[in-house]
Amino acid sequence: MSNLTLIQAVNDALHTTMQADPSVHVLGEDVGKKGGVFLATENLTNEFGEERCFNTPLSEDGIVGTAIGMAMNGLKPVAEIQFQDFIFPAFDQIVSEAAKLRYRSGGQYTAPLVIRTPYGGGIRGGLYHSQSGEAYFCHTPGLKVVIPSTPHDAKGLLISAIEDPDPVLFLEPKALYRAVKGEVPEGHYTVDLSTVREVRAGKDVTVFCYGAMVPVAEKAAEAAAAQGIDTRVIDLRTLLPLDEEAVLDAARSTGRVVVVHEAPRFCGFGAEISALIAEHAIEYMEAPVARVTGFDTPFPNTLEHHYLPDQRRVLDAIERVAHY
């Protein structure tokens, strides 16, 4: 076991898969000698050469389009988009090409590619380096959307994503890149996609969260425990495809639910969790589902601390549903 940060675990996953499988290639802006803005690809070019870890022009649609072509021809590309905020020029390539390839070809072709990108707030990046766009992509059949929150999951989920036969959008919460450390097994291991992780057991309230909101929810649950509220915390990990049965089981187990994410509230992923529970578990609910989210505004700079859900806001929601 190694004690790694989340960004080190990402690098370890890339190194592990590239070492084991020569078809794995890494491409993106500054991913080569520089190792990327956050050093996720550090030393990969030195070890595997510029043919397998190489820089691209500043063209997100070109990066993803190239990766699709590589995937169709027997390679397993891992494309990095420097910040998720800049992924939108490649939106058509992702949702209309990569995600549709298996369907439109009747299964003759697949797109076994991964698109890695840091997302979310927490580094005072302002409106162009802090957005959370997961809901845009969760609306796309044929695509998988994965978000780790621990170093262990970051490595295991990324290896699973690289080995998956279909396109995976791998969103990395940059606020956690160096803020969390944990034990990570050496060598190859996987964490199954479309599975949730129980972060904390509890019988009174269930909190669903993912990414950088997981440690926030944990702290709120600890504070709630001091008030006698036993809170269960579930890390969703894979948003698409979602483990719906696990979500419903967790919701039914307490009858009181809070959903936390840093993306805006309107049409955010929390709305899908709320709808799922309303359709299939409403008879178990003892209180309305509460959502704690970012606000329906552009992401602010100086007011980032107010925009992002924090322990206080999550605790308020836990208390509200517990005493409804």
Active site residues: 129
Residue type, 278: A
Order across the sheet with 76-80: list the strands. 53-55, 24-28, 76-80, 114-119, 168-173, 144-146, 238-240
Centre a 10 Å sphere on the Cβ of residue 44 and count the other Cβ atoms it contains.
23
**Residues 151, 9 contacting (CB under 8 angstroms):** yes
Rg of the chain's alpha carbons, rounded to an integer? 19
The alpha helices in the chain, defined as continuous H runs, are: 6-20, 44-48, 60-72, 91-92, 101-104, 134-138, 151-163, 213-225, 244-254, 269-280, 304-307, 311-322
- The Cα–Cα gap between 324 and 318 comes to 10
User: What are the b/e assignments for 198-231, b being 16+ CB within 10 Å?
Assistant: ebbebebbbbbbbbbbbbbbbebbebbeeeebeb
Cα separation of 75 and 70, whole Å? 5
